[in-house]
Structure formats: C-alpha cells, structure tokens
Structure 1
Amino acid sequence: MSHYYLGIDLGGTVTKAGIYTPEGQEWVVTEQALPLLSPQRGFCERDMTGLWEATCQVIRRALAESKIDAGQIKGVSFSAHGKGLYLVDKQGRAVRNGIVSSDSRAQALVSRWQEEGKDRQAYGYSLQQLWPSHPAALLHWLKEHEPESYAQTGYVLMVHDYIRYCLTGAFTSEETNISGSNLFNQQQGAIDPTLLAIFGIEEVADKTPAIIGSADCAGYVTTAAAQLSGLKAGTPVFGGMFDVVGAALTSGVQDASKLSAVAGTWSIATRVFERIMPAEYPYVWGKYSIPGSYFVHEGSPTSASNLAWFVQQFLPNLPDSYATMNQWAQQGYQKSEDILFFPWLYGSNFKANVNGGFLGLCGHHGVEDMVYAIYQGIVFSHLLHQDRILALSAGAQSIRFTGGPTHSRVWMQMFCDASNLPLEIVDVRQSGCRAAALCASVGAGEFSGFSTAMEASQAPIVRLEPDAAKHRVLRQRFDRFKRVATALSAVE
C-alpha cells in the first residue's frame, strides 16, 4: 500500500495541510484562515484553541479530499512562522492568546533597549538584531504589562512547538525556529542564561523545553489528538522548521552557491553556510535543518503586498488584473521613465522613519506607469536585503526564487537583471507544506538526510539569464532610489 507524509504550514494568518509522496509529489492541500485579534494598537494575536481546531480541520479535509487512509500517513511535520510567542502552563493550557510575528507592541521597549546598547551586548551571543516580536522582547513586555500571564507560564513555545505538543503531548522546541528567538546562543546551540539576563527575563530559564532538530521525532499522535484530527494514533511527529528554512529547502538550497529568494507579503533573502561568516554588519543567523549548517537571512514586509494594496485601492474592478498589470510592466520595462516607488507601506527595510510613496509623477503618466514603478520598487527594496547577503562571500552562482510573483515572467526577469545572476524559478504550489512533508520523510528514514532528500525531490526549475544592458539601467535607478531614500530619512 502506498504511503504519504503530511506537511502542516502554520503561517501568520492561514493554516494549511498538504499530503505528499516521499519524493514531494503533491496530492492535496487544504487551508483555513484564522482571524487575527487586535485588541489594542500594535497587538496581533490569535486564539490558541482556535488555532489547534483550525489545524485539525485542515488535516481532516486533506484526508477526506485525498481519499487517503490515515494509516497511510507515515509522518507529520511543520513549516512555521518565526518569532511570536505561544505560552502554556505546566498542564499545557494556553496562558493567553498566541502572539504572531507581525505584533509590534514591544516597539518602545526595543527602542529603549537599543538606546541602552542591549542590541550590541546581546548580538555576540544570539546573532540576532532586535525585533519587537522576538520571544525575548515579548516576554519582557509581558513581565512589565501582564505579570499574571508571565507568572503562569510553564513553557515558552513557538507556534509549531505548540501544535506539536497538541498532537503528541510532549513539550519540545525546534532548533531552526528557536535559534531566531534572541534566547538562543548560536555557538553553544542552547538557550543562554546570559541572554536571559541581558533582557531581564531570567525567570524563564527553566521554562524552555528540550531542543530538537528538524527531522527528530518529537513523539507520536495521541489517542485524543487522533480523534480530533483524523490522524491515526501512533503516527510519528517530527520537529519541523522555520518557514524561511522551508522555502530554502523546497528550492534545493544546501550551500552558499545558491541564494534562496522569496517574494510575497515579505521579501526574504537567505543563504546557507557551513560556518558563521565574520562581518561588521549585524547579520541575522540561525541553525539550518542540515546538521552543522547555518542560514543567514534578511526579510521585511516590502514585497507584493504593496501591489495588492494598489489594486485594492485603485483598480478593484480591473478585469484579469494581474495579467493586465504584467502587460503594463512589460511595456514599462522598455521605457526610460524615472518614476520611483518606495514599497514601504507596511514597514521599511531602509530606515524606520520612511514610508511608502511615489516620486517623479508628471501629468503625462498613467496608471500603467505607476504599476511598472511598483514592480521596480519592490525589486529595489529586495536588493537592499539581497546585496548584503551576497556581500558575505563570493561564489553565489544563481538565485532560487519562490512566491507569488514567480507567476509574472517580466517581474522575475527584472529581479534577474537587477541581480546580474541567473534566476531559477521553482515551480511549486505550496513551498511550506511541501518542505514540512519532506522533513517528515527525512525523519521517517526515507532519505539519509536533507541533502539527499532535496536532490531526490527537486521541483521543476525555469531558468532565466540576466541582460547586461538592463542590469546597468536598473542599477543606475537603484542608486538614485537609495539616494532619495537617504534624503527622505533625514526629514524628521
């Protein structure tokens, strides 16, 4: 009888479940949005019981739609959003709502820490920049503002740690995600009491579960979880991974020769090394799923969500909108227009005090010119991340790209030309679910490791080559983009 693996993708707003063959062939993917709760400005939460119920529902639907018997599922694993905080007491009951990665309630605290130099003090241990949704920042915020929640905490979990507990009854912490928490020492590979002291949260030292690898077995589906989810009791459940790592795995990235790039709500650039590379710039590092490897990445909400906003506000009734906009972008790519768009409607990866907008609009411009400027601006904002990642070392030979914009050939060509590297589009529907299922297949022993699994399951690739003339033009415009952004950031 054929057997399969279940991958669960726990995003910031949508939960998905996919069933795959050991080699990564997709049979079905189901999804369900979970309402985000924002009781105050900057708060971005979700009901943890509702999250578990939504996870059970997508699993049940995946099994029903695929007509696969639960006994044929030989393993379960996860791809999960980073940062955020999911607290339970010693009995595993939610202490409060879960907090997702887009939460910014701790921004004032982080700014205070930066003024005090805590970011520099902690960086040598954690190799993380400070972020308001880091578990370290959220824990200190709760200590100050919700001391009763802080005191009730039995275990500090990230999102897939919580769902893994719901399935197995075992408390564990997965390495690729906890390594981005500002609680974790990258060199020691463990939660660091020094970091807890720097951030004033020493009390959680005994509330962090044992750390496991992506493909380590965390436990088995309990009878109670089987009744709720439709899975078979005793099905093994494996660690999983941070979704940034999942995108790189789906793209077949296992060393520094290939860069993983993601465009969607967030713009993300990721590279994998066998050691942490020394550099003055405070790069963000974490443990990769391949034992002994590290990933370095940068990301910001500066990608296609900006285009989605423009469509919603100004082109809500445009027929076949994305096909039409791709045509406009193709026409704009042949022009020499100097309109600049800064894709910082939801945050900036240049300076915190700059916002989105157009520069250079004239009376002869039309909506099609503005759309091209948005495409170009999103490419430029991605380059801010990508150029820094590439600067860590020579030897990058290509870029592997996933995300919604991969469906626009002109947009991908713009990314390719601006980067001046071959760009390989990874043809995969759901990179998170697929990577999670691949993780389960490695954990179950289908492959000797992630490297072997990636080689055996590589999704189809479409390769684009850069145009040297276009590269020069785009880089000249990118230089202007940065100069204008620098000038704007100087305005209080």
Structure 2
Amino acid sequence: MYVGIDVGTSTVKAAAFDAEGRELAVASRPVDLALHGGFVEQDMDELYGAVVAVLEEVTSRAPDPIELAGLTGQGDGVWLVDAEGRPVRPAASWMDGRAHELVDRWLADGTFEAVFRRTGSAMFPGCPGPLLAWLDSHEPKALDAATAALYCKDMVFQRLTGTGPTTDVSDASMPFLDPRTRTYDNGVVELLGLARRRGLLAPVSDPVATAHTLGEGLPAGTRIANGPYDLPACALGAGVTSPGDGLLIVGTCLASLVATTDLDLAGEPAGLYINTDRPGHWLRAMPAMVGTAALDWVLSTTGVRHEEVDGLLAETPPGANGVRVLPYFAPSGERAPFVEPRLRAELTGVSLESTRADLVRATCEGIGYAARHCLQAAGLTGTLAVCGGGTRSPAWMRLLADVLGRPLRVVEGEVGARGAVLAAAERYGVTLDAEAWTRPTAVVEPDAGRAAYYTEGYEEHLARLAEARGRARA
C-alpha cells in the first residue's frame, strides 16, 4: 500500500493505492481561506490538523500496511515557521494580493524582467519574492522571529517527520532558483532587497528529501518523500513527461504545463519554468490565477448547485447567446500567460433575457479561452491530459475539448497524490508501473463544427482581453 497526501488550497486529501495504482481509499477535509482587503491567509495549525485527520482516516481504511508515502501541496505563498516548525504568523497564500504595488514597481523599473531572465520565473503578488519583501517592510518582527520561509508541503513535512526545514527544486523554482544550476541565485535575492533575509530560504534537497514519520497521521517510521509540489506532481500522475506533451489542471488554479527540454529565457516574461527531478527537463508552466474558483463564484452568486452545471450547459448554445466572461476574478489579478496585477473579471452582453445557463456557459467558455491562451504560450505540441475538479463535469470536458480544438486525455481521481507516490517510489527505488498508474480514464474528442466556432471566439477573447489589460494599466 502507498499513500499520497495532497495539501490543497481549499481541500486536504489523502489517497491510498495498491501496487497497480488502483485508488482504494480517499479521505478529504476542507480548509478555510481568510480573505480581507486583498490579503488571503491560511491557519497553518488548522491545515496541519486536516492533514493528520485525513491520514488517520485513509490508513484506517487501507487493507494492508503502508509501505511509503509521498507528499505534495499547493505552491508559492510564504509559510513562516520557527525552529520547531511552528507557525510565526498565518501563511500568506499564493492567492494573496497585498504585494501588488511592489510587483507594479518592479514591472516599471525592470526588476521583474531581470528576475525572469535569470530564473525563468515571472513573479506575481502571491509568490515568495514579493511577499517576503512586503513582510520585510510591514511586518519585520515576523521575519525576525522565523527561522525559515517554507512552502506549504515543506511545513507539513517538517512537522510529520521532525526534520529541519527543507524544500525541493520544484517549489524553489519560483522565484529564487537558477534553473541551470538548480541552486539559489543570490543576485535575485539582492535584486528584491532581501539579502539580509537570505537565511530564511530553506535548503534545497535535490533529489527530494526523505525521512521517517513520527507517528502523527501515519504509523511511526513510515517512509515519506517531500515533493514535488502539486503542479509537477499532477504532471507525474497524469503521465506528462515527454517533451511537447501537456497537462491542464482544472482546479482552483487553472494550470497549464508542457514538458520541455528547452530553456528559453528570452521570451515574454510570464509563467515559470518548473525544475523537475531530471536535470535538463522542465515543465513550462502557465498557472493562471483562477480556474474553478471563477465558476464557483458565478454559481454561488446565481444560486446554482454544482450538480446542475451539466444540465445548464445543455440549455444554451455555444456563445451563450452573446454573454461573455473574462474570468480574471483573483484579487491579485493575473500571472499567466501574462502578468497584470490589476486586471479584473468582466461580464458583458447581459440583458434581461439572459439566463443562468447563459452565465454558466459563458464562464466555462471564458475559462476555456484562458486555458487555450496559456497552453499556446507554453508551447503545447503533443498530447493533452486534463485533471482536477472540473473533470467531474462531462459536459464541461466536452466544451473544453471544443474550445481547445484537441482531444483530452481525462485522468480522474487524486492525480496529485498519485504523482507524489510515483515521485516517492522513484526516490526510494521502489519499482512501479508508471504506465498503469497514469492511464487515462477517458478520451474526449472535439466536435469539428464547434471547434471551428470557438477558434473565432478565441480571437474575439484575445481582443477583449487586450482592451481590458489597457484599462487595468490606465
């Protein structure tokens, strides 16, 4: 038996698998996000408590002892801990927008581009560079009290194992790691004014760190590996490892990933290059800020339940009777395939004749156009896998296939947890059949006529987006 732990933004999950990759037990717990005035924070103790709870539940239901565990979780943000791994303050989430003025300034003075040219990371307000710089100016005592600025999974790993602070090359990719040397670029630390806080950056374990658990959640002595974080873990879990192949994660974050062996730091600064466990192999990532969160907001505002989405998508035609949605709802704007901290969502074409179905379809179409934009920028040339909560809607998957104009390899279940186990098995020398573990559950083909319609709609989307970006900068 193998256990994968995925510490998500809104839900913590654990899944138990047998040696053939069959998902035998899953446990989950929701966790809160505190939103106030552009700040988005999480209680680390609550989050860790949820991890322990799901592990206790899933191990109690597993028919055999656990051989090893793999850990993954949300990326970015700042998770400040003391020497015992305890929180110094609430974690600042990757969705946090407090540092947008810093990013604006760095965009204007060239710092933003200089960092991208060195690391392949296009900073956004919720990544560690801007957040640490903001905290250094506004909450220096919090940084003084901390011994490490971790990422989410690193905080969990430290508390599960009692080891010292550590991270891996995937999490460290944004924004301090040199993708060629796989070590921190001290020049970037200095560019961001953080030289005196350099000691807070956790040591990078390459390959990922391993340890034995202390006995909370998992039996004491269970072997566990720390990483990669959720985006590359999902790529592993979906079998996206060959250059040119891509993955679309339709989750809280709409993440587009393309496997590559080419490191091009000369293009438009956007997204990031995620370092993988194989030197010379990266994931070109375009993690857009809002995915299912945009649809959730529309559903809650209109009083629609999630189980009604498929029926509503069938009630209105492609184009949603003229209703259009630019789905940039995040308080910190957008970060991929461009960085625009002040960009906001727009809803147009609405009249008294518009229906809830029109609003739902327009939102799903808008998210699809955003995904197409990201995948195009990331350099997709091969097959495309798709995973995440959005895959639970067959109608939305058909719509996405049409909007993207290509077949979708749908990989259902706990894909991030699956990838975390595969990474742990590789680290420990445990042989698993990766092809069997990553086999798609379905392939959704696009309809030629609707795909042609959406190709025109995509060009309209890009034009409307350009106008909205102009307004955001005014």
Asked if TM exceeds 0.5, the reply is yes
Change in Cα spacing, 1:304 to 1:151, as seen in structure 2 (3 Å) is closer
How far 1:83 moved relative to its partner?
A: 0.4
The amino acid of 2:324's aligned partner reads L
Aligned counterpart, 1:462: 442
- SS state of the match for residue 265, structure 1? coil
Larger Rg, first or second structure (1 or 2): 1
Aligned counterpart, 2:250: 263
Contact 1:212/1:239, CA 8 A, preserved across alignment: no
TM-score (norm 2): 0.90
- SS state of the match for residue 296, structure 1? strand
Counterparts of 1:157 and 1:336 in 2: how far apart (Å)?
43
Aligned counterpart, 1:154: 147
Alignment of 1:217-296 (within 5 A): 217-222=209-214, 226=215, 228-229=216-217, 231-277=218-264, 279-283=266-270, 284-296=272-284
Specify which of 9, 13, 22 is matched with residue 16 of structure 1. 13
Alignment of 1:119-198 (within 5 A): 119-198=112-191
Counterparts of 1:370 and 1:445 in 2: how far apart (Å)?
50
The amino acid of 1:109's aligned partner reads L
Q: 1:399 aligned to 2:399?
A: no
Alignment of 1:294-333 (within 5 A): 294-316=282-304, 320-328=307-315, 331-333=316-318
Contact 1:171/1:210, CA 8 A, preserved across alignment: no
- SS state of the match for residue 282, structure 1? coil
The amino acid of 1:233's aligned partner reads A
Aligned counterpart, 2:361: 372
How far 1:194 moved relative to its partner?
A: 0.9
TM-score (norm 1): 0.87
Counterparts of 2:297 and 2:87 in 1: how far apart (Å)?
34
Moved more, 74-83 or 428-437: 428-437
Aligned counterpart, 2:32: 35
How far 1:59 moved relative to its partner?
A: 1.1
Contact 1:83/1:181, CA 8 A, preserved across alignment: yes
- SS state of the match for residue 341, structure 1? strand
CA deviation map 1:23-72 (0-9, x unaligned): 3211211112233334x52222223233322221211111223354xxx2
Alignment of 1:18-167 (within 5 A): 18-38=15-35, 40-66=36-62, 68=64, 72-167=65-160
> Unaligned 5+ residue runs, structure 2?
none
Q: CA RMSD in A?
A: 2.5
Contact 2:166/2:209, CA 8 A, preserved across alignment: no
Contact 1:179/1:185, CA 8 A, preserved across alignment: no
Counterparts of 2:293 and 2:390 in 1: how far apart (Å)?
11
Number of aligned residue pairs: 466
Moved more, 352-361 or 143-152: 352-361
Counterparts of 1:9 and 1:295 in 2: how far apart (Å)?
19
How far 1:178 moved relative to its partner?
A: 2.9
Contact 1:183/1:191, CA 8 A, preserved across alignment: yes
- SS state of the match for residue 439, structure 1? helix
Q: 1:442 aligned to 2:426?
A: yes
Aligned counterpart, 1:418: 403
Moved more, 276-285 or 373-382: 276-285
CA deviation map 1:397-424 (0-9, x unaligned): 3211112232333332332233333221
How far 1:126 moved relative to its partner?
A: 1.7
Counterparts of 1:170 and 1:336 in 2: how far apart (Å)?
53
Aligned counterpart, 2:465: 485
Change in Cα spacing, 1:220 to 1:322, as seen in structure 2 (3 Å) is same
Counterparts of 1:405 and 1:155 in 2: how far apart (Å)?
35
Identity of aligned residues (%): 22
Contact 2:310/2:395, CA 8 A, preserved across alignment: no
Counterparts of 1:407 and 1:461 in 2: how far apart (Å)?
12
Aligned counterpart, 1:343: 327
Contact 1:22/1:438, CA 8 A, preserved across alignment: no
How far 1:352 moved relative to its partner?
A: 4.3
> Unaligned 5+ residue runs, structure 1?
none
Moved more, 4-13 or 306-315: 306-315
Change in Cα spacing, 1:353 to 1:239, as seen in structure 2 (3 Å) is closer
Change in Cα spacing, 1:290 to 1:21, as seen in structure 2 (3 Å) is farther
How far 1:129 moved relative to its partner?
A: 0.8
Aligned counterpart, 2:417: 433
Change in Cα spacing, 1:463 to 1:137, as seen in structure 2 (3 Å) is same
Counterparts of 1:77 and 1:429 in 2: how far apart (Å)?
16
CA deviation map 1:147-193 (0-9, x unaligned): 11212221221111111111222224332433333121111111121
How far 1:145 moved relative to its partner?
A: 1.1
How far 1:213 moved relative to its partner?
A: 3.8
